[in-house]
Every structure is written in structure tokens, then in C-alpha cells.
Amino acid sequence: MSVEDGIDFAIIELFFFAYRDFTSDPDQMLADYGFGRAHHRVLHFVNRRPGLTVAELLDVLKITKQSLARVLKQLIDTDHVVQLQGPRDRRQRELYPTAKGRALALALARPQSRRIRAALEDSGATERTLVERFLEAMVNPELRAQIDVGSAKMSGKSHGEH
């Protein structure tokens, strides 16, 4: 059962290898832009949830605002992300990807998506759902609400260029 001392070393190790390789393709591409994995994460979530505020982004990423600052500033300076004053609350900054930002987010996601497709290649919808359910169950329960499982909720925002 690949278990010693009652510990599931097999999946623990597989998870490490799988995640490392999963992030390796975008990591290499990011180097060309002078970006790192942190930029990828920010860009990913801004692209996925256009119009989210800085506070919301911090809550999703679970990092401090000081950590976000550098990365977000670089993404703004390089015209990948724009900030708009919040319509309801003018203290807030809503974050949107630019066309350039969306293109990069897509380019970074492409090899990851390809890898997933290859890993599921002989699998049907059942297997796919099972993997999704497993991954979701690995997330801390109190955070599962943050996850978009189905098609992305575009939050009814404009989604256009800014």
C-alpha cells in the first residue's frame, strides 16, 4: 500500500515532484521578463478575477501587502496590470489585466494546461472530476469558498481594456 509507519510517503513525494515540474515551465518563461513565480500568481488571479481589490488579492494569496507591493508595482510599470479607483469606495484599487497582461497570463498557463491534459489523456470526465475533488479536498476547508471550481465567475465586471 506504499505506506510505512502509517504515513503516505508515496503521495507526499509525488506531490512534491508533480508541483515542482508543474511550475517549471512558466518559471522559465518568466525569467525572460525579469519576473518570478510571485508575478505569475498575481497576474493569474488578476486575470481570473478582474476587478478584485488589493485586499482581496492579499486574502487569496495569503501574503503581506509589503510582499505584494514590489511584484504588483512591477506588473503595473510594465503595463501588465492597471489599477482603477473603486467605484463604490474610492480608497479601493480595482485590479485589471491589460491586453498584454492577459496575453502573458495565457502564455504562462498554456504549458501547465498542456501538462494537465497529457496527465489526463486517457481519462474521462469521471477521472478529471476525481482529481479536481482530490485537490479541492487538500485545501484548507475554510479557504475552499475562495476557489472558482466551475467556469470562472467574471464577477459581472466590464472585463474590457483599461
Partner DNA sequence: GAGATTATGTCAGTACTATTGACGTAATTT
Partner DNA sequence: AAATTACGTCAATAGTACTGACATAATCTC
Q: Which is nearer to a copy of itself, 88 or 153 (CB)?
A: 153
CB of 153 to a copy of itself, least distance (A): 11
**Nearest-angstrom CA–CA distance, 84 and 51:** 8
Say if residue 12 is exposed, middle or buried (CB neighbours under 10 Å; 0-12, 13-18, 19+): exposed
Here's the x/- map for DNA, 84-103, by CB under 7 A: it reads as: --x--xxxxx----------
Q: Does 145 bind a copy of itself (CB under 8 A)?
A: no
**Nearest-angstrom CA–CA distance, 135 and 114:** 18
Q: Which of residues 52-81 bind DNA (CB under 7 A)?
A: 53-55, 62-67, 69-73
For a copy of itself, the binding residue among 8, 59, 89, 161 (CB under 8 A) is: 8
**Nearest-angstrom CA–CA distance, 146 and 162:** 25
Q: Which is nearer to a copy of itself, 89 or 143 (CB)?
A: 143
**Nearest-angstrom CA–CA distance, 88 and 53:** 12
